[in-house]
Amino acid sequence: MKGDAIDIQLAYYAATAHKYDEMHVAEDDEHGFALSLMIGMAQHLAVRSILDVGSGTGRALMRIKKAIPDIEVAGIEPSPALRNVGYAKGLSRVELIAGDALALPFADNSYDLTCEFGALHHIPRPSRAVSEMLRVSRKAIFIYDSNNFGQGSGLARLLKQAINSVGLWQLAARARSPAGS
């Protein structure tokens, strides 16, 4: 079942990669706010290297490079289609690589800071991904992820809580998205 969900997600990204940023990215959104906080934290902690887990099209990597030009950045992303968008933006194949958050291809303490923005809820075993982030980090990890029940209007949040309380959240999520996200 988990393999099927991953295949569905990869197919979705392959079909939408060309318009992914248009569909999911706005400079003033909550991910951008969290990214600004992390960049400030990285500057305060004198971070010299950052690994971004679940980089998508490279939004975080590009912002980090712009804000801290002499920093070493790397990102892992399982979707070839999303990586290709990142390469078209100017990221190198060393900066944005294929990878699995459950088995990061780096030695212990490889990066000063490891981060993720909105990827953890797509990972089948998020606690394992966090363990991997901790393993490869020397100074810190930064996690920013979505809370399905905390997003939307007051009415939307109330309806989500009601659906969940009667045990229908998974069914509703599947109806909304084939990957059940």
Same domain? For 158 and 106 the reply is no
- For residue 177, the model assigns a pLDDT of 54
Same domain? For 127 and 158 the reply is no
- Strands ordered across the beta sheet of 96-97: 96-97, 72-76, 49-53, 111-117, 137-144
Tell me the residue range of the domain where 79 lies: 2-144
Same domain? For 126 and 58 the reply is yes
- Which residue has tokens 């950045």? 73
- For residue 3, the model assigns a pLDDT of 60
- For residue 94, the model assigns a pLDDT of 97
Q: What is the dihedral of CA 84, 89, 93, 95, to 10 degrees?
A: -130
Query: What single-letter amino acid sits at 54?
Result: G
- CATH code of the domain covering residue 78: 3.40.50.150
User: pTM above the 0.95 mark?
Assistant: no
**Closest by alpha carbon to 115, among 96, 145, 78, 143?**
143
The two tokens of residue 179 are 């990957």
- pLDDT, tens digit only, all 181 positions of the chain: 456 777 887 888 888 888 877 776 666 777 788 999 999 999 999 999 999 999 999 999 999 999 999 999 999 999 999 999 999 999 999 999 999 999 999 999 999 999 999 888 888 889 999 999 999 999 999 999 876 666 667 787 788 888 888 888 777 766 665 444 4
Same domain? For 127 and 161 the reply is no
- Cβ atoms of 83 and 144 within 8 Å: the answer is no
Same domain? For 125 and 157 the reply is no
